[in-house]
Structure 1
């Protein structure tokens, strides 16, 4: 009888418990379904800070001084006193030419000089005698005058022959070719047995390797910008920091300084040729090498910075995906400025309060629910350091065009 009386309450309790279970399981499934529909992304806050910006240009290493050595006299090379690539000092002998004809010329000039001097001596003796006779009224004054003229002529002839002796001796001395400056000789030197023509045959090239120039070109606008920077930093001497990156991606360990600029813009390119001087004590920089020249000296205060990885481009539109206030993805058009390491400066379109998506962008579209994982620049490997990826060797036309990348 007890079980019969309590049968209805027990059934009611079982029904309520079952309903609650179904309701809870339904809510959990709905939440799981919503979580499964959200796109997993990584995002970070936009950075705002002072940003030192730099400009890069295609450049080429050139020797500060370079001389093509030529002989002053013609003749066959009979001796060479160096090897290609050697370092030579100013005044060091490099070549010796066949000197036999020049030795003969010296002897001939000396013989002519001796003959003219003997003739002059005889004429002077006759003049002294005639002057004595004139004093005794033994001869006419015209005879003395004529003899004086002869002495003057013979004296001039002797002086001319003396000059010819000096010229012949100089030609003989010039059969040995000396280094006009200290430096390294090239490997395109001519061989023994080559006939060298005076002032025409390039025997070898000598150039200095420490220091060296890095030559590059900048546009008119960049020239004016850098001039303004220099005027704002007057008194610093050289406000622009100049560094170079080599073709293997490494940065040359010594800084340079701008020392020369052309007097006018090139008419065909509208660019200004500039030279920066770099110390090169170890000879790492070789003339003809290509390099990326980096000029640093401008700072943009409170710049808005966004990682390069967050930036997308479609046709002429540049945009990023930001995390909206409702947790959905939002496309934001931006205007980019210069590049600094892993970041771009954003001129417009973002504020310091925005959060941008940096990973998970491959299939992300606007209006998607986001499951956001906040990350830091360190976790993503972002930095302000320059890219050290090796660059392809540039052509000489690129080096001269002053192609600027920021």
Structure 2
């Protein structure tokens, strides 16, 4: 027998089905709605890519060295009896530095002077005999052989005089060399010997003196850099004028420099070319051993694209820059860089003049991130960056 369900039971089933359908609908709509909701934009600072004619500046790491440097060695042996300077003193050419014991050389000079006097007396005696024998030979009182013998004795006596004179002169020089003087204007190193030390002629280094003004700065450049600079100017005499020196504290040295020496070829081990630039040093601010950066101006790039150096990112051997793409969203692009110009960087490939590069905040903006962009100018780059 068929029993018809009651009205209340049918209504309850309809309500249950409606609830399930509503739940499924809400779940589906909720998932789609979560993907459509916009994320919060990240605040960044960006700058328009600059396009302008730019003189390319090349920068190299250099080391200051003395233009002239001399190791002071004694020319005579003996004990140091006096020291006239201390380490670090500035000295003039010819200024006394050390005194070596004079007494042995004074005695030697006196001995050689006595030998010279004896030789001169012997020569005078022989010459008187020569005159007498020459008179006798004209009178045929002596044989010519005796005259020839006395003339030979005269030559021997003259040779002994000359030898004695040479020894006396050498003794005078040795005595003079007991006072060791500076061979140039400069500064004495602090590793000088003290009184009482024994010095060996030609071997012992008493001190090292480095010239103070001017100084050289030695630096190296790659083959590519050399070719670019050579094409900008016919020789180092052209592009090597007006070099700029940036000291270790970042301050620019006030006086310009110029290339003075260029090595004959590239170093086999490094493939670089060694150069030396000359800088005047009247205030003696530059000290040998000091490191500094040398800047040289090369060719002028027409329509060069420039971005702030702080916008450049290095990641896994790649060079990247984050730009503000369409819709104010972040986009990371690989780029090829050219030379650095101050706090700016030339970009060879990867950007156009229409691009805006993120200068601050790119670390928080993976590709596709919505951006709240604040534009800045090159004048604002002096402020520290907040990545």
Give CA-to-partner distance per residue, 1:180-212, whole Å, 9 cap, x none: 222222222111111111101111112211110
Please say if residues 241 and 297 of structure 1, whose CA atoms lie closer than 8 Å, have aligned partners that are also in contact: no
Partner Cα distance (1:34, 1:373) in 2: 24
Summarize the Cα distance change of 1:197–1:300 in structure 2 as closer, same or farther, 3 Å threshold.
Answer: same
What pairs up with 1:105-144 in 2 under 5 angstroms? 105-144=108-147
Partner Cα distance (1:375, 1:141) in 2: 114
Partner Cα distance (1:175, 1:254) in 2: 41
Shift, 1:45, TM fit: 2.1
What secondary structure is seen at the aligned counterpart in 1 of 2:152?
helix
- Report whether the alignment pairs 1:287 with 2:288: yes
- Report whether the alignment pairs 1:180 with 2:175: no
1:203 to 200, 203, 206: 206
Matched with 1:64 is 67
Matched with 2:58 is 55
Matched with 2:162 is 159
What is the count of residue pairs matched by the alignment? 350
Shift, 1:74, TM fit: 0.6
Q: Which moved more, 1:326-335 or 1:290-299?
A: 326-335
Shift, 1:240, TM fit: 4.8
What secondary structure is seen at the aligned counterpart in 2 of 1:226?
helix
Partner Cα distance (2:174, 2:44) in 1: 84
Partner Cα distance (1:268, 1:125) in 2: 75
Summarize the Cα distance change of 1:220–1:154 in structure 2 as closer, same or farther, 3 Å threshold.
Answer: same
What secondary structure is seen at the aligned counterpart in 2 of 1:362?
helix
Please say if residues 240 and 297 of structure 1, whose CA atoms lie closer than 8 Å, have aligned partners that are also in contact: no
Matched with 2:3 is none
Summarize the Cα distance change of 1:136–1:283 in structure 2 as closer, same or farther, 3 Å threshold.
Answer: same
TM-score, structure 1 as length reference:
0.79
User: Where does structure 1 lack aligned partners over 5 or more consecutive residues?
Assistant: 1-29, 384-406
Give CA-to-partner distance per residue, 1:285-314, whole Å, 9 cap, x none: 111111122222232111112233434444
Summarize the Cα distance change of 1:312–1:103 in structure 2 as closer, same or farther, 3 Å threshold.
Answer: closer
- Report whether the alignment pairs 1:213 with 2:235: no
Please say if residues 240 and 296 of structure 1, whose CA atoms lie closer than 8 Å, have aligned partners that are also in contact: no
- Report whether the alignment pairs 1:191 with 2:189: no
Q: Which moved more, 1:69-78 or 1:172-181?
A: 172-181
Shift, 1:249, TM fit: 2.2
Matched with 1:275 is 276
Partner Cα distance (1:305, 1:191) in 2: 60
Q: Which moved more, 1:215-224 or 1:369-378?
A: 369-378
- Report whether the alignment pairs 1:91 with 2:94: yes
Q: CA RMSD in A?
A: 2.5
Q: Which moved more, 1:342-351 or 1:195-204?
A: 342-351
Partner Cα distance (2:83, 2:214) in 1: 28
Summarize the Cα distance change of 1:323–1:218 in structure 2 as closer, same or farther, 3 Å threshold.
Answer: closer
Give CA-to-partner distance per residue, 1:235-256, whole Å, 9 cap, x none: x845554222222222222221
Shift, 1:178, TM fit: 1.8
Matched with 1:257 is 258
Partner Cα distance (2:152, 2:116) in 1: 19
1:77 to 77, 80, 96: 80
Summarize the Cα distance change of 1:146–1:346 in structure 2 as closer, same or farther, 3 Å threshold.
Answer: same
TM-score, structure 2 as length reference:
0.82
Please say if residues 239 and 297 of structure 1, whose CA atoms lie closer than 8 Å, have aligned partners that are also in contact: no
Shift, 1:62, TM fit: 0.5
- Report whether the alignment pairs 1:375 with 2:355: no
Partner Cα distance (2:314, 2:351) in 1: 16
Partner Cα distance (1:323, 1:373) in 2: 11
Shift, 1:380, TM fit: 5.0
Give CA-to-partner distance per residue, 1:80-132, whole Å, 9 cap, x none: 22222222222222222111111111111111111111111111112211111
Partner Cα distance (1:126, 1:245) in 2: 81
Partner Cα distance (2:332, 2:262) in 1: 46
Summarize the Cα distance change of 1:135–1:97 in structure 2 as closer, same or farther, 3 Å threshold.
Answer: same
Give CA-to-partner distance per residue, 1:330-357, whole Å, 9 cap, x none: 4433222222233322212221122333
Matched with 1:347 is 348
Q: Which moved more, 1:147-156 or 1:355-364?
A: 355-364
Summarize the Cα distance change of 1:376–1:91 in structure 2 as closer, same or farther, 3 Å threshold.
Answer: closer
Give CA-to-partner distance per residue, 1:222-274, whole Å, 9 cap, x none: 2222211112x99x845554222222222222221111011122222222111
